[in-house]
A = this chain, B = another copy of it.
Amino acid sequence: MSTDLQYREDGELRHFLTVEGLKRDTLTRILDTAETFISFGEREIKKVPLLRGKTVVNLFFESSTRTRTTFEIAAKRLSADVINLNPNRLATSKGETVLDTVRNLEAMHTDLFVVRDAHSGAAYLIAQHVPPHVSIINAGDGRHAHPTQAMLDMFTIRQHRQDFENLKVAIVGDILHSRVARSQIHALNILGVPEVRVVAPRTLLPTEVERLGVQPFSDMRRGLENVDVVIMLRLQLERMQGSLISSQQEYFNLYGLTPDKLAYASPRVMVMHPGPINRGLEIASEVADGPHSLILSQVTNGIAVRMSIMALLMGGQAARRED
């Protein structure tokens, strides 16, 4: 997919659809701006008026209360008005198209759409059809991308390591189906992480995965050797039924993150997971709740990173409306 759509002519960010093709400067600016928001959660009054008077629509064709809540909180802390919509894909395909739905909401002067959909490319399709003063954030589209998740992961890494340049990072789990992994890999590459590993059974790795700029491992202990960061993916339980994985117990034995496997990593290793965690399936409770875990920091950082992206997208909007 073309990513030019993500930039305006003046080089400012217009949409946030995928990490792929973004400049390192852009990612760094998102992280820097998020840092200015990270103290807000601690402050007595957590609101800033940056998006006051703006209307943000959470347009979740695929429902996800958890992700929607993070965008809702982020938008409200920026003082935006937030409308949550969970339109039925079936209903929209009956006569009125998805684009009709979007055009209608846009006609109500929505400034920003946060779009989630089970189909890859949905946010991109919408972004192609909105006027210049409307921005789109991709909150997950099919197996394609989940760029805000990747950015909050980068933020969490940077909080604990000075720079990205000497890191070894391993992503563990169902790489094949994961939009999160795809976005993380792009972000790690763009930010200059020299060694990105993916750890999974062969059946859960894309063919020619090396082309993404990663090293594949099927043995988890070898994959974790000396890594600075372990990012666990959530195992989609509904896929366990199929033939891809023989049994939950066997999966946990081979790829579940346990203290003994974690011992192969760097002593200062960071453990991350996008949540919600499946305790005892892809991660042992001792690790999830242990001293290396940054899982709850990721959640906190997720609000700041989403505020940052919203603020950057809306930053130049005023000028643009006059074009």
**Which of these, B43, B278, B300, contacts A107 with CB under 8 Å?**
B300
Q: Which residues of A contact B (CB under 8 A)?
A: 41-47, 52-55, 65-66, 69-70, 72-73, 76-77, 81, 83, 85, 87, 94-97, 100-101, 103-109, 237, 275-281, 296-297, 299-300, 302-303, 318, 321
Task: Report 19 cross-chain contacts, Cβ distance below 8 Å, ordered by A residue.
Answer: A42-B321, A44-B321, A46-B109, A47-B52, A47-B53, A55-B76, A69-B85, A69-B105, A73-B81, A76-B81, A95-B277, A96-B276, A96-B278, A103-B296, A104-B296, A104-B299, A106-B296, A107-B296, A108-B300
Counting from the closest, the 7 A-B pairs by CB-CB distance are A45-B53, A95-B278, A41-B109, A107-B299, A96-B276, A107-B296, A46-B53
What's the Cα separation between A44 and B123 when bound, in Å?
24
Once bound together, how far apart are the Cα atoms of A52 and B46, in whole Å?
Answer: 8
A276 to B100, CA, bound (A): 8
Complex CA gap A103/B275 in Å reads 11
A303 CA to B108 CA in the complex, in Å?
7
B73 touches A55 (CB 8 A): yes
B97 contacts A318, CB within 8 Å? Answer: no
Q: Select the residue from A104, A275, A299, A300 with max chain B CB neighbours within 10 A.
A: A104
Asked whether, in the complex, the Cβ of A85 is within 8 Å of the Cβ of B107, the reply is no
B residues in contact with A87, CB < 8 Å: 65
Kindly state the separation between the CA atoms of A59 and B321 in the bound complex, as whole angstroms.
35
- Whether the Cβ atoms of A281 and B53 lie closer than 8 Å is no
Residues of B within 8 Å of A95, CB to CB, are 237, 276-281
Contact, CB under 8 Å: B275 / A104: yes
Which among B72, B281, B296 is the interface contact of A83 at CB below 8 angstroms? B72
- Measured in the bound complex, the distance between the Cα atoms of B297 and A106 in whole Å is 11
| Contact residues in B for A300 (Cβ distance below 8 Å) | 107-109
Can you name 6 extra interface pairs (CB under 8 A) apart from A47-B53, A72-B83, A96-B276? Answer: A43-B53, A45-B52, A69-B83, A70-B108, A95-B281, A109-B300
Residues of B within 8 Å of A109, CB to CB, are 41-42, 46, 300, 303
Q: Which residues of B contact A55 (CB under 8 A)?
A: 46, 73, 76
Q: Could you tell me the distance between the alpha carbons of A296 and B109 in the complex, rounded to whole angstroms? A: 11
Residue of B nearest to A95 (CB): B278
The reply to whether A85 and B65 form a contact with Cβ atoms under 8 Å apart is yes
Residue of B with least CB distance to A49: B45
List chain B residues, Cβ under 8 A from A321. 42, 44
- Chain B residues contacting A97 (CB-CB under 8 Å) are 279
